[in-house]
């Protein structure tokens, strides 16, 4: 890992590194979720479901990275990373959704995704607070369970469906590995702050 010691370079390159890793991970998570669902449930996975699944896992990657960045003491740096990664995430989700809604304009989809993303951020904080009250740690695993619960709701999966899907999904070694990968990239901002704070 190359340590970035220039603030402008960090703000330009780190959100791009995060989004590139996020795209790869979201594709992997989507593929794995669909494979497990098709094999173990009677759910008919349609093309629009694929976009929905990818969207949710893209949000998850953003939550992972910004969970790490929440530990940054420099408010301006934290805010800039938050804003730039949000913009890139919205652009990526819009790109994927546009394929399933060819009659919609890119700008309209981006606007809709942007509004939805703000709602999801608020919902995520509320759901995470609930998880903490229930005894969960505020970590990547809790974030993953929240996203899986959202998928259950949006895809109208039954509780029995999720009992088949979730254990197989979270036990896949690639899930654990990619959690660490995205967090390691995001952590570069923490290292930058430690090296340049004083």
How far apart, in whole angstroms, are the C-alpha atoms of residue 129 and residue 45? 31
The answer to whether position 39 is within a domain reads yes
Whether residue 55 lies inside any domain: the answer is yes
Within a domain: 74: yes
Q: Does 119 reside within a domain?
A: yes
1 in any annotated domain: no
pTM above 0.75, yes or no: yes
For the stretch 171-188, pLDDT in tens is 998 888 888 899 999 999
Q: Residue 1: which pLDDT band, with cuts at 50, 70 and 90?
A: low
Q: Can you give the pLDDT at residue 46?
A: 81
* Domain range for 184: 7-196
Q: How many domains does the chain have?
A: 1
190-198: which pairs have CB atoms within 8 A and are 24 or more residues apart?
190/68, 190/69, 190/71, 190/72, 191/3, 192/3, 192/4, 192/5, 192/7, 192/10, 193/72, 193/73, 193/74, 193/77, 195/3, 195/5, 196/5, 196/7, 197/73, 197/74
Report if residue 103 sits inside a domain: yes
CA 25/CA 177 separation, integer angstroms: 10
Separation between Cα atoms, residue 173 and residue 178, nearest integer Å: 9
Distance CA 75, CA 48 (A): 38
Q: Is residue 22 part of a domain?
A: yes
Would residue 153 count as lying in a domain? yes
Q: Which letter does DSSP use for residue 104 in this model?
A: S
pLDDT in tens, 130-173: 999 999 888 888 999 999 999 999 889 999 999 999 999 999 98
Q: What is the mean pLDDT of the chain?
A: 91
């Amino acid at each position: 890992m190359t340590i970035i010691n220039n603030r402008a370079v960090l703000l330009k390159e780190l959100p791009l590194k995060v989004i590139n890793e996020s795209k790869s991970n979201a594709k992997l998570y989507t593929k794995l979720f669909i494979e497990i669902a098709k094999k173990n449930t009677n759910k008919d996975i349609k093309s629009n479901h694929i976009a929905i699944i990818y969207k949710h896992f893209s949000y998850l990657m953003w939550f992972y990275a910004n969970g790490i960045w929440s530990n940054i003491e420099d408010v301006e740096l934290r805010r800039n990373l938050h804003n730039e990664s949000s913009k890139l995430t919205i652009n990526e989700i819009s790109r994927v959704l546009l394929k399933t809604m060819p009659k919609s304009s890119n700008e309209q989809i981006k606007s809709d995704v942007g509004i939805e993303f703000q709602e999801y951020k608020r919902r995520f904080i509320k759901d995470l607070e609930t998880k903490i009250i229930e005894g969960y740690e505020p970590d990547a695993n809790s974030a993953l369970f929240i996203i899986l619960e959202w998928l259950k709701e949006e895809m109208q999966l039954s509780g029995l469906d999720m009992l088949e899907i979730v254990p197989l999904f979270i036990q896949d070694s690639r899930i654990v590995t990619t959690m660490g990968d995205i967090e390691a990239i995001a952590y570069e901002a923490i290292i930058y702050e430690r090296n340049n704070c004083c």
